[in-house]
Amino acid sequence: MWKLYTILKDYTIDDALNIEKQDSQYKSLEKLYANLRNKELFLSLVLANCIVCYQLSSTWEKYWEEFASYFSSVIPAKAGIYKIDIIKLMIDFLPNSKWNKRFVDTKINRLWKLEIFLSKFEKEIDFYSNNLIILRNELATTMWQKKDAKTIVFAIKMILYWLSIINNWKSTLCPFEIEIPIDSRLTQIFEKYKENYTDIKLFYSDLSKKIQIPEIHLDAIIWVNFEELMR
């Protein structure tokens, strides 16, 4: 971990936030919000998409671009839409998605499981936006998943993007307690730099605390430096 820390130690939280704003998924959400201009509807779609964003047939970037383009064209034609319709709209979208065709029935069941939580969130959107740990915990409970499950943690990352976009690009920091979403890329970094570490989660937790950048935001720094770090 110390070798990786030495390479990354000069990065700041502002660097991480600026990198996030260049993320193509962030830009896809910007496009979607520019068309919706409804923060509650916007977040409901983001949350619903997060919990079915796995086993894709493309990169996540391509899929989120498809998602944003689709709902940018569909939603304006449905003025006055109610929250409960989000689930049905997503269910209509999945079978027609080019990049999210695997396990559609399972993903539809996950969407129905989320429905009650979306209704609750709509009523307490400000509370949850300011209490991301509670939001993560309740979302994990709703979806019958662990708190550090990739789709759960990724949902928090997308919510942070959502908050930045609706607040005119003023970023909200993720709590240090929320873990980085482990993927193959982060696993490769761990295998190369783990030194005496055997626990990948402890590795990234310690790195995050040492650099003083929450894990979710640290992910962005590792993402843009991945190829260089793996040389």
For residue 15, indicate whether it is catalytic: no
Of the residues 150, 194, 201, 210, which is catalytic?
Answer: 150
Specify burial of residue 125 (Cβ count, 10 A radius: 0-12, 13-18, 19+). middle
Of the residues 78, 98, 146, 183, which is catalytic?
Answer: 183
For residue 183, indicate whether it is catalytic: yes
Query: Residue 13: CB partners within 8 Å, gap ≥ 6?
Result: 173, 212, 213, 214, 217
Q: What's the CA dihedral at 102, 104, 110, 111 to 10 degrees?
A: 120
Write out the two tokens for 43.
Answer: 């977040």
Q: Which residues are catalytic?
A: 150, 183
